[in-house]
Amino acid sequence: MKEEQETSGMTLAAISVSRKLPDFWVDMLRLWFSQFEAVMAPQKQGEESKFNMVISKLTKDAIQQVSDLVTSPPANNKYAALKERLLQVYEESAERQFQKLVLELELSSQKPTHLLRRMRDLGRTTQVSDITLKSLWMSRMPTSVRAVITVCQDQSLDSLAAIADKILENSKSFEIAAVTDGTAITSQGALTELANQMSKLMLEVASLRNEVQSFKRRGSSRSRSLYSNRNRSSSRKSKAPGDPNWLCRFHYRFRKNAKRCEQPCAWREKEAEN
């Protein structure tokens, strides 16, 4: 009687565990095994129980791929052998995952944060650098979103993804409001207009910066010119009419081309000496 109760209890426990486990995920094999092992860990089940539990969750195609292990299981490490075979059969190669990361993943209807997580999963296997991952993720964003988050490059990639989520959410709300009001404005058009306005603003700021720098250069040149003129004026003014080298204003300015002269000007005496 006691043995029957223990057997019944074990059966109920197995049924409870089985209900917690999803069916086999061919496209996310390692994640499925991680979840499977997390569910099984508290049960402290052996290789035999885990082997049988995995078999119960496999699809028809997966059963065919491991049929030899099902019909003639190894004496030891049954679960480990089954897991290794399934990974060999269904897990994509690093080259294939890299190809999917670079060429196939698109934003579509998912959130930018969801796309980033998927790209990180593939990037972790293919050992893609954070800089490359960021560049690939940015290239999947709509042009209007990319134009806005470009000005936030000092933010982390997770922060940029969260910002992109909000931009797309707000654009959808804007589109719904526009349709309700009967306004024929699309969210993409609104975001594009916003991006254009930001681009114009950045160009205006750059233009103002150039004008300020040009003004500073002109001011510096004018200061040097005024300083030079003052030196010449002070040099002339330092010589009084009584000085033997004093020149009148006409000869000082026009030299030999002067038409008039004011005395006492030393020009004629200098010409005579020469």
The conformation of residue 93, written as its DSSP 8-state character, comes to: P
- Can you give the pLDDT at residue 222? 61
- Can you give the pLDDT at residue 84? 93
Structure tokens at 10: 């074990």
- Can you give the pLDDT at residue 153? 76
- Supply the pTM of this predicted model: 0.45
- Can you give the pLDDT at residue 80? 94
- Can you give the pLDDT at residue 114? 93
The Cα 133–Cα 138 span in angstroms is 9
User: Would residue 46 be called left, alpha or beta, if left means φ above 0 and alpha means ψ between -120 and 50 degrees?
Assistant: beta
Structure tokens at 130: 């954070």
Shortest CA distance to 164 belongs to which of 243, 220, 111, 221?
A: 111
Ordered mean pLDDT values, 10 residues apiece, the chain (274 residues): 46 62 84 89 84 92 93 92 91 78 85 91 81 90 85 85 87 53 52 64 66 69 57 51 79 85 83 73
The Cα 96–Cα 25 span in angstroms is 18
The conformation of residue 110, written as its DSSP 8-state character, comes to: S
Contact 128, 101 (CB under 8 A): yes
What's the Cα-to-Cα distance from 90 to each of 26, 29, 259, rounded to whole Å?
6, 7, 105
Contact 198, 151 (CB under 8 A): yes
Residues 161-164: contacts with CB within 8 Å, 24+ apart? 161/112, 161/113, 161/115, 161/116, 161/137, 162/113, 164/112, 164/113
- Can you give the pLDDT at residue 173? 55
